[in-house]
């Protein structure tokens, strides 16, 4: 049903731009509405695991991906106090590329891909309210203008007006965890392309190089009672971050001494999904299944969604049927990823004692005696390929 079909997408982030490209490449007439006056991303890193990389390659972005995001070598878990290695997961598999990327680079390549495919992008337009119904959706813009569209995709995150329209009673709760993020100048091209996790009591920190060692990305998480606002763009004092990790190993403290612009956000859990769609209106990406950042899958789920959603719209006779199919195909996998991400924080934050000792000993022993078994534990995640039938119903 896609040839010439008019489709409106709210949000020019990973989910919105990837979905726009996938739809336009299949013949749809797509426009993206973005409230910002320019498509920009604050400096932060992300990880494109194999299940997300296959989508980018299927969209024709393989060479751009290889240039923008060097392939990762491994994920390394380390003890917080001594920095000693606890576990290493090999990521350097030829047929399973895993990339460490600057978010701005991913947004930039998706924007260019969307424009090349004929997508229209409208900037500086704020949607205050969405009214979906069985046959179309009405957009209420800031300033009073309204517009009715035949098919609407809400890809504008957890504060999406489309999400609010479809899930008006959905209430998030504070997890008791906050996260800081920052990117520091590094200029060390010899730095191994490892994602390193320093695990401590009630805290952990993830670091990995970006742009071939030009930058170092830092995400630091702490359990605490003090509430913090949800969202990525709340500045905080560097001193607060440094104080929270003052008992970590010297290499962590040295990194944090280099931090300048630091952002803090509260981590919230959102209730399990309810219907993501009503008639020809649907939500996707973080708007549909927000996740905690402990499995590095937010962007990857958005990329998977984009491909499956475009396929469903191409193969079904109506948007309503396509969106029913989309949720049926995606609900179990996204739920499993969200739950796995939540459990990861518990594993990283074990307090000193018998449980922590046993858990770390098991990781060390498993990595030494049966590394392939450890790799196999992530096969369900990284081996999933929605471009090769994994996102289809039979």
- The catalytic residues are 208
List Cβ neighbours of 139 (8 Å cut-off, separation of 6 or more). 8, 33, 127, 129, 130, 146, 147, 148, 149, 152
**Bridge partners (DSSP) listed for residue 101:** 46
Of the candidates 238, 231, 243, 240, the one whose C-alpha atom is nearest the C-alpha of residue 261 is 238
For residues 240 and 323, what is the distance between their CA atoms, to the nearest angstrom?
A: 44
List Cβ neighbours of 385 (8 Å cut-off, separation of 6 or more). 51, 54
Phi, psi of 378 (to 5 degrees): -105, 10
Please give the span between the terminal C-alpha atoms of the chain, in angstroms, as a whole number: 19
For residues 130 and 140, what is the distance between their CA atoms, to the nearest angstrom?
A: 6
- Can you tell me which residue has the tokens 């509430």? 227
Estimate to the nearest angstrom the gap between the alpha carbon of 207 and the chain centroid. 16
**Bridge partners (DSSP) listed for residue 216:** 184, 209
Kind plus residue range of the DSSP H or E element containing 85? strand 85-90
Q: Helix crossing, 298-315 with 319-348: angle to 10°?
A: 160
List Cβ neighbours of 19 (8 Å cut-off, separation of 6 or more). 9, 153, 155, 284, 285, 305, 306, 309, 310
Contacts 24+ apart (CB under 8 A), 287-290: 287/11, 287/15, 287/154, 287/155, 287/156, 287/157, 287/158, 287/160, 287/162, 287/163, 288/163, 288/330, 288/334, 289/330, 289/334, 289/335, 289/337, 289/338, 290/157, 290/158, 290/172, 290/338
């Amino acid at each position: 049903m896609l040839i010439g079909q008019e489709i409106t997408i709210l949000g020019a982030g990973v989910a919105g731009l990837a979905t726009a490209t996938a739809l336009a490449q299949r013949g749809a007439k797509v426009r993206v509405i973005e409230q910002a006056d320019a498509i920009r991303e604050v400096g932060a890193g992300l990880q494109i695991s194999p299940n997300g990389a296959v989508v980018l390659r299927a969209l024709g972005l393989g060479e751009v991906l290889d240039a923008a995001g060097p392939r990762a070598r491994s994920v390394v878990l380390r003890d917080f106090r001594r920095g000693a290695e606890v576990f290493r997961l090999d990521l350097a598999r030829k047929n399973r590329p895993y990339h460490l990327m600057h978010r701005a680079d991913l947004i930039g390549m998706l924007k260019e891909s969307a424009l090349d495919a004929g997508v229209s992008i409208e900037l500086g337009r704020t949607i205050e309210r969405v009214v979906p119904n069985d046959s179309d959706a009405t957009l209420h813009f800031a300033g009073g203008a309204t517009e009715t569209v035949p098919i609407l995709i809400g890809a504008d995150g957890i504060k999406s007006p489309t999400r609010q329209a479809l899930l008006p009673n959905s209430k998030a709760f504070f997890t008791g965890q906050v996260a800081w993020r920052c990117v520091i100048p590094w200029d060390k091209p010899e730095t191994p392309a490892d994602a390193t996790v320093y695990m401590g009591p009630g805290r952990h920190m993830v670091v990995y190089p970006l742009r071939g060692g030009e930058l170092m990305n830092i995400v630091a998480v702490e359990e605490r009672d003090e509430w913090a606002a949800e969202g990525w763009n709340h500045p905080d004092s560097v001193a607060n971050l440094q104080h929270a990790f003052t008992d970590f190993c010297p290499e962590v403290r040295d990194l944090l001494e280099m931090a300048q612009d630091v952002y803090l956000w509260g981590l919230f859990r959102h209730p399990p999904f309810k219907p993501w769609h009503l008639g020809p209106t649907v939500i996707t990406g973080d708007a549909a299944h927000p996740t905690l950042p402990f499995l590095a899958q937010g962007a990857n789920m958005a990329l998977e969604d984009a491909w499956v959603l475009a396929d469903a719209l191409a193969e079904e006779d109506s948007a309503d049927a396509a969106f029913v199919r989309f949720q049926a195909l995606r609900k179990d996998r996204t739920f499993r990823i969200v739950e796995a991400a939540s459990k990861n924080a518990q594993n990283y934050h074990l307090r000193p004692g018998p449980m922590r000792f046993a858990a770390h000993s098991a990781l060390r022993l498993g990595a030494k005696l049966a590394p392939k078994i450890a790799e196999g534990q992530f096969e369900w995640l990284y081996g999933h390929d929605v471009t090769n039938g994994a996102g289809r119903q039979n």
